[in-house]
Amino acid sequence: MFFFDPLWLVFAVPGLLLGIWAQIKLSHAYGKYSKVPVDSGMTGAEAAREILDRSGLNNVPVEEIPGHLSDHYDPTKRALFL
């Protein structure tokens, strides 16, 4: 038998609304600034490679991947995906 306690809504709904609001703000900011060209003309992968090289992390590969907000570091492959 399951018992439904409506008190959990008091905690769940505000958290859910905050998460949705944050996702909307993030997507809006990403869409807005992804259209702004950079002065240096470098891509994100080129900039990351430059930063890693200057930090002495020459063995960390930087790979370009398609996708929207899909940038990540994979510790199993020890690679940066942009």
Digit-coded pLDDT (tens) for 49-69: 999 999 999 999 999 999 888
For residue 66, being part of any structural domain is answered with yes
Tell whether 53 and 73 lie within a shared domain.
yes
Q: Which of residues 78 and 68 earns the better pLDDT score?
A: 78
pLDDT score for 67: 85
State yes or no: pLDDT of 1 exceeds 80. Answer: no
For residue 55, being part of any structural domain is answered with yes
- Take residue 57 and report the two structure tokens written for it: 């992390």
What is the C-alpha separation between 6 and 10, in angstroms, rounded? 8
Digit-coded pLDDT (tens) for 28-43: 998 999 888 889 989 8
Q: pLDDT band for 12, please (50, 70, 90 cuts).
A: very high
For residue 43, being part of any structural domain is answered with yes
Tell whether 16 and 47 lie within a shared domain.
no
62-63 β-sheet, strand order: 62-63, 79-81, 72-74
Tell whether 48 and 30 lie within a shared domain.
no
> How large is the average pLDDT for residues 71-81?
94
